[in-house]
Amino acid sequence: MIEETFPGPTRPWWWQVYTLIRNPSYISKCLQKYGDPFYLMLEPKTPFLIFTDPTAAREIFTAHYNDVFAGPVSESLRPILGRESLLLIDGDKHLNMRRFMTPAFTGNAMRVYGSVIRDTTRKNTELWAKDSHVFIQGVMQNISLEVILQAVFGLKEGDRFQKYKQVLVDYISVFNGKNAIFLYSSAFQKDLGIFTPWGKYLKMVKVVDGLIYEEIKLRKKKPNQQDIFSRLLAIRDENGNGLSEKVLRDQLLTLLLAGHETTASALAWAFYWIHRDPQILDTLSCELQPFCNNFDIESITKLPYLDAVCRETLRLYPVIPAVGRLLQRPMSIMGHTLPAKTNVVLSIYLMHHRPDLYPESHLFRPKRFIEREYNSYEYIPFGGGARRCLGIHFAFYEMKIVLAYILLHFQLKLRSNKPISAVRRGVTFLPGGGVPMVIEKKIHQ
């Protein structure tokens, strides 16, 4: 048994889950105490073996997709995303669905959304005035949500657009703070009434389902729009059959939730780190200066220091802190022979803070990505292998455009010099307090 072979905490499983949710440093303390690998109990009688080494990443990510399943390890997300979500299906089923969806996230497809991201950023900042106060987290949340609604559904205004915005915000907000525990362990997902977090969530599911199934029916009557939804509707198998409404619902909901919450969090952190260090802000501003009068999206998204800033942001607080797999056969990982049905987890957060890979890993140092090129097993903010997040390029693209537009048009300042702590929201970490900032100056419009 894993817990008899490897070290790990002996506290009850529910205590480990609760501590992991409330205390971001808990997993770091476990690594210091037990070494790599160690196990955590995140479900009753179910150990999860935690690795933090690039060698483990290589062996897990290069394993055949039929030998390492992701769905069972993320079982607690099934009620939130749906049984047919791309994140939860495995084997050939996952490979085929991924193949169908990949074209929507290629370079050519993304370029269509460049102006959408720029215009959405402009709309959400056009009323900013000198000396006004803003909470960057909320602004980024709004921008990323509006961008994903237009990218997925082609919605940018009107009653349906506003209704989607409100419903999706309410949907994910159920799992703020300590309520994130429901996303980490299916053992807590008990319906004890509409006034409990899980009961409230189940009520929200009906609202979300109503919206999405209505959207599916509307779109089938009006096809051929240029958005991701239209691409999903056009999918046909070898017999000419399209995706069922249930499969469509699960993929759409996955895209909406994964496509805005994560990017908003990363952008909020980026603004915080950039404005904590005047030298970083000056270096980035100098790189952006040639684009003051010509916001050339494609050139901006290729800027090396802007790219490094985005990469360093996602290193310090990766939007997904870990990825897991359930072994379908015995495997050797880092010399450890593990039996089938072992839950292995690669901690992205801990790997990104390894001092041998990232010296002074607690510091925000974008230049590390200019001074050294990290391979796809050392830097893994979006996972890796056959299951690397489809939205990786879209996320970087959006981050660069939003950051560049706001830094070119506004001079901002943090309202306080006090360090900001990470707080739990769903499966990711947000900067606590929403990153309050002051608009010092409007540069030009």
Digit-coded pLDDT (tens) for 39-93: 999 888 889 999 999 999 999 999 999 999 998 888 777 878 888 999 899 999 9
Q: If DSSP states are collapsed to H, E and C, what string results for 91-158?
A: HHHHHHHHHHHHHHHCHHHHHHHHHHHHHHHHHHHCCCCCCCEEEHHHHHHHHHHHHHHHHHHCCCCC
- pLDDT confidence band for 429 (50 / 70 / 90): confident
Alpha-carbon torsion, ordered 159, 165, 170, 172, to 10 deg: 150
Distance CA(79)–CA(16), nearest Å, equals 22
- pLDDT confidence band for 23 (50 / 70 / 90): confident
CB 252, CB 212: distance < 8 Å: yes
**pTM > 0.85:** yes
Write the Ramachandran bin of 426: left for phi over 0, alpha for psi from -120 to 50, otherwise beta.
left
Q: How many CB atoms lie within 10 A of CB 287?
A: 18
Domain count, the chain: 1
What's the mean pLDDT in 341-353? 96
Residue 58 CA: distances (Å) to CA of 333, 346, 378, 400? 9, 11, 9, 28
Three-state DSSP at 402 gives helix
> What residue type is 132 in one-letter code?
S
| Burial class of residue 343, CB neighbours in 10 A (0-12, 13-18, 19+) | buried
φ and ψ of 26, to 5 deg: -60, -45
Three-state DSSP at 309 gives helix
Rg (CA), the chain: 22
Residue 366's pLDDT is what?
A: 97
Write the Ramachandran bin of 326: left for phi over 0, alpha for psi from -120 to 50, otherwise beta.
beta
CA dihedral sign, ordered 114, 323, 377, 54: positive
Residue 199's pLDDT is what?
A: 77
Tens of pLDDT, residues 246-293: 988 898 888 887 777 889 999 999 999 999 999 999 999 999 999 998
Residue 65 CA: distances (Å) to CA of 60, 68, 82, 247? 10, 6, 21, 21
Residue 12 CA: distances (Å) to CA of 46, 76, 181? 11, 19, 15
Distance CA(77)–CA(84), nearest Å, equals 11
CB 50, CB 20: distance < 8 Å: no
Instruction: Give alpha helix (H) positions in 35-106.
Output: 54-61, 78-81, 91-101
Residue 432's pLDDT is what?
A: 86
Q: If DSSP states are collapsed to H, E and C, what string results for 177-196?
A: HHHHHHHCCHHHCCCCCCCC
Residue range(s) defining the domain that contains residue 287? 2-442
> Which run of H or of E encompasses 230?
helix 228-233
What are the residues whose beta carbons fall under 8 Å from the beta carbon of 22, sequence distance 6 or more? 178, 424
Mean per-residue pLDDT over the chain, rounded: 88
CB 259, CB 148: distance < 8 Å: yes
Q: How many CB atoms lie within 10 A of CB 283?
A: 18
Tens of pLDDT, residues 220-235: 877 667 788 888 888 7
What is the bridge-based pairing of β-strands 46-51 and 343-347? parallel
Q: Give the number of C-alpha atoms closer than 13 A to the C-alpha of residue 360, restricted to the C-beta side.
A: 6
CB 328, CB 63: distance < 8 Å: no
Query: Which domain CATH number covers 183?
Result: 1.10.630.10
Cis peptide before 355 (omega within 30 of 0): no
Distance CA(148)–CA(153), nearest Å, equals 8
- pLDDT confidence band for 174 (50 / 70 / 90): low
Residue 336 CA: distances (Å) to CA of 62, 255, 343? 17, 36, 13
What's the mean pLDDT in 117-136? 93
Residue 128's pLDDT is what?
A: 92
> Which run of H or of E encompasses 169?
helix 159-173
CB 403, CB 117: distance < 8 Å: no
pLDDT for 445 beyond 60? no
Tokens of 264: 């908003």
Looking at per-residue pLDDT, the higher value among 34 and 237 belongs to 34
Tokens of 75: 């079982």
